[in-house]
Amino acid sequence: MSTLDVDVVVVGAGIQGAGAAQAAAAAGYSVVLLEQTGIASGTSSRSSKLIHGGLRYLESGQLKLVRECLRERTLLLRNAPDLVRLTPHYIPVYRDTRRRPFMLRLGLSVYALLGGLRPELYFSAVPRRDWATLDGLRQDGLQTVFRYFDAQTDDAALTRAVVRSAESLGARLLLGGGYAYRVAAPPDSRCVLRRSSARRPRRVHHALA
Ligand SMILES: Cc1cc2nc3c(=O)[nH]c(=O)nc-3n(C[C@H](O)[C@H](O)[C@H](O)COP(=O)(O)OP(=O)(O)OC[C@H]3O[C@@H](n4cnc5c(N)ncnc54)[C@H](O)[C@@H]3O)c2cc1C
């Protein structure tokens, strides 16, 4: 059995674990990141690939959350331009659409305001003459089409990049589920990670993150 003495043990190299490991390593902690299957093997490679600003949260009045999402989106666009890019999104409004054009205009305006009126938050109505250029759009009963921008990413690549960043800050990635890890937290709250070569059981008894 080998023993590692570390401050922080993070279980799971999805985007949450990668981010936690990166933040802890950046704050100067010694970090181990445990992953049983593979980096981004869980939901972090099966998302909608959107880095959205939380437009849909406006309806439930979660303004603080929308502002936070938009701030995070701006940071990602700035810090990872090769992985996160803006893409146009279209909202068609038909005669029987529940959300009327004025509601969407209002929502998109509030969205832009919460994001500090940055240029990427400007939205517009697509001119009628351009509707036919939008692939697959049903035009029967169509009243308005709004265009706004949200961001898209390769979620698995983004997760891998955050793990690499955590490693560059000193975090250690331990991959593979063929070992049992036992984590002990002594009274001084530091963590001792014991790695045994036992093939079963494949689980972590306790971890701090
Ligand atoms: C259809 C869909 C659309 C989504 N759309 C968006 C979106 O637009 N924007 C957005 O921000 N989010 C979106 N999400 C949510 C986002 O994908 C998840 O919130 C995110 O991936 C969760 O990350 P995670 O690190 O918590 O979990 P995961 O990515 O599932 O990572 C957990 C990791 O832990 C590992 N693990 C588990 N148990 C152990 C163990 N005992 N020991 C070692 N390793 C272990 C697993 O192998 C896995 O790699 C969407 C999700 C889905 C499913």
Q: How far is the CA of 19 from the centre of ligand 1 (A)?
A: 12
d(CA 19, CA 3): 25
Question: What digits encode the pLDDT tens for the residues 32-66?
Answer: 999 999 999 999 999 999 999 999 999 999 999 99
Q: How far is the CA of 47 from the centre of ligand 1 (A)?
A: 8
Ligand 1 proximity of 36 Cβ (cutoff 6 Å)? yes
Parts of the chain belonging to CATH 3.50.50.60: 2-45+156-196
Ligand 1 proximity of 203 Cβ (cutoff 6 Å)? yes
Q: How far is the CA of 37 from the centre of ligand 1 (A)?
A: 13
Ligand 1 proximity of 124 Cβ (cutoff 6 Å)? no
Q: How far is CA 19 from each of CA 2, 27, 61, 167, rounded to the nearest angstrom?
A: 27, 12, 27, 11
Q: How far is CA 186 from each of CA 63, 190, 208, rounded to the nearest angstrom?
A: 42, 6, 12
Average pLDDT over residues 171-199: 65
Write down the pLDDT at residue 189: 57
The atom number, within ligand 1, closest to the CA of 181 reads 42
Q: Chain-centre distance of CA 137, in angstroms?
A: 29
Superfamily of domain 2-45+156-196: FAD/NAD(P)-binding domain (3.50.50.60)
Q: How far is the CA of 15 from the centre of ligand 1 (A)?
A: 7
Average pLDDT over residues 3-28: 94
Q: Which residue puts its alpha carbon closest to atom 17 of ligand 1? A: 47
pTM (whole model) above 0.85:
no
Confidence of residue 191 (pLDDT cuts 50, 70, 90): low
Confidence of residue 3 (pLDDT cuts 50, 70, 90): confident
Under DSSP, the state recorded for 160 is: H
Q: Which residue puts its alpha carbon closest to atom 41 of ligand 1? A: 203
